[in-house]
Amino acid sequence: MAKTPWKTDKWFTSPWNFDLEVTSTLKFPPAKEIKIHDITLRDGEQQAGIAYTFDDKIRIAKALAEAGVHRIETGMPAVSKVDEAAIKEIVQLNLGPEIFAFSRCMAVDVKLAKECGVRGIVVEIPSSEHIIKHAYGWELKKAIDLSIEATLMAKEYGLYTVFFPIDASRAEMGWFLDLIEKIATEGHMDALAVVDTFGGISPHAVPYLIKRIQERIKKPLEPHFHDDFGMGVANTLMALASGASVAHTTVSGIGERAGNCAMEELVLALLTMYGIDIGIKTEKFYELSKLVRELSKTTIPNNRAIVGETLLQVESGIVTSWVRRCRDEHPLELGPFVPSLVGQPAIAIVMGKSSGVDSVVEWLEKTGLDASQEQREAIVQKVKEASILKKGLLDEEEFKKIVQEIVHG
C-alpha cells in the first residue's frame, strides 16, 4: 500500500486534508511540543455522579501513563483527604508523565499542592466580569488580587504554573486581555489555559481568540474546551493549529455537564488527518476507555467514535458484502482505520433487521450449518421478522432455531 500521510496500512482519511491550500494556513507547533494534559481525574470526576476512590485514581493514572499521556492532572487536594493521599501516591509512583494538581486562587490550596510533591499547578480564577459579579459575588479587584497572590506563591514554591481564567470565552475582550497581562507581569504564569468553560465558542472564533492573546502575552497556551455544543475536539484542534501547544482532555470526553475534549478523538485526528504523531499509544484507547467507564460507572453511546462497543459491528446486508470481500486484503475500504490501531476487536457481522443473504451465509459458515439459496432467502425474511419483534439483534441460538425451522421444516 502507498505510504502517504492520509493512507497507510493502518488508516485512510481524505487526501484533501493535506492539500497545500489547506495546510499553508496551519500553525501547529512541532509534534514534540504538542502535549496531552489529561484531566480525567479532576474535571472528568466533576461529571455528576462520578466519585473515584483512592484505588480508582491510582489505576487510572497508571493506565494513562501506559498510554503515553504527557501530563496527568491528578485532582484538587483541597477536595478531600482521599484526593490528597491519591495525588501524593501518584507522585511517589513516578509513572513517567508530569504530575499536576488543580487549585483555587487561594494560598492554602497552593500550599497543599506543593506538599503533595507535584511538578505543576493549574490555578483557577473567574475571568468574565459577569461571572465574577453574579456567580462569585466579588468585586473585580478581588479576582485580580487573589490571582497575583496565588500565582506568586506558586512561583515561590517552584511549581510550573498554568493560569486558568474561568469563562474566558465569554469575557469582554479588553477586560480579559488586561487581566492576563496584569497576572503575567505583576503575578506569575508559565502558561495560560484558554478556557471555554461553557463550550460556547465556535471553531471559527478560536483562531481569533488565540491571536488576540498572543498579541498581549508571550506564553505557551493550553486549550481547555468543553463540549456543550459538541465542539470540544474541533475547537481544540483549531487552537493547536493556531499555535497552542498543550491540550486539556479527558478519556472518552467525560466531564462536567457535556464533558471535555475527548482525548482519543483529538489524538487520532492529529495523527490521521494532520500527520502529527505526538507519541500517544493509540492501541490503548479502547482498553483505557473501558477502564474509565467501569470505574466512573458511566456509559457512552454504543457507536461512539473510536471506543464505542458496537462501532465495528456490521448489520447491513450490503456492508456485510463489502466485509466479506475486503476484510483480509483491503480492510480500509470498510472504515477510516483498522480496529487494531485503537485496540478494538475485529469487525463483527451481526444478525438483525438490516441483514441480507451474505449475512446469513456468514453465520451459516460460522455455525457449521448449510442451506440452499432459496432457503437462505427465506432465513433472511425470518431473521428480519424476529429482529423487529425483539427490537434488537439475534444471538446464535436464535439464528440456529430459524435455520432449523426453514431447512428441516
Which segments of the chain have a pLDDT < 50? 1
Q: For position 300, what pLDDT does the model report?
A: 94
Residue 342 domain flag: yes
**Residues 282, 357: one domain?**
no
CATH number of the domain where residue 231 is located: 3.20.20.70
Q: For position 137, what pLDDT does the model report?
A: 83
Q: For position 127, what pLDDT does the model report?
A: 76
How many domains is the chain built from?
Answer: 2
**Residues 151, 193: one domain?**
yes
Instruction: Give the three-state DSSP class for 23.
Output: helix
Residue 165 domain flag: yes
- Which domain-ending residue is among 235, 270, 296? 296
* Average pLDDT taken over every residue of the chain: 95
Residue 306 domain flag: no
Residue 301 domain flag: no
Q: For position 136, what pLDDT does the model report?
A: 81
**Residues 91, 116: one domain?**
yes
**Residues 375, 279: one domain?**
no
**Residues 206, 318: one domain?**
no
**Residues 259, 372: one domain?**
no
| Structural domain span for residue 394 | 313-408
Cα(123)–Cα(151) distance, integer angstroms: 7
Q: How many residues does the chain have?
A: 409
Residue 2 domain flag: no
Q: For position 45, what pLDDT does the model report?
A: 96
- pTM of the prediction? 0.94
On whether the CB atoms of residues 213 and 177 are closer than 8 A, the answer is yes
Q: For position 12, what pLDDT does the model report?
A: 97
Cα(317)–Cα(274) distance, integer angstroms: 33
Q: For position 1, what pLDDT does the model report?
A: 45
Q: For position 191, what pLDDT does the model report?
A: 98
What are 222's strand-pairing partners? 193
**Residues 361, 232: one domain?**
no
Query: Which H or E element spans position 126?
Result: strand 120-126
**Residues 395, 284: one domain?**
no
Residue 189 domain flag: yes
**Residues 24, 150: one domain?**
yes
**Residues 337, 211: one domain?**
no
Residue 279 domain flag: yes
**Residues 283, 340: one domain?**
no
Q: For position 144, what pLDDT does the model report?
A: 85
**Residues 92, 135: one domain?**
yes
- Which domain-ending residue is among 261, 296, 331? 296
Q: For position 180, what pLDDT does the model report?
A: 94
On whether the CB atoms of residues 285 and 68 are closer than 8 A, the answer is no
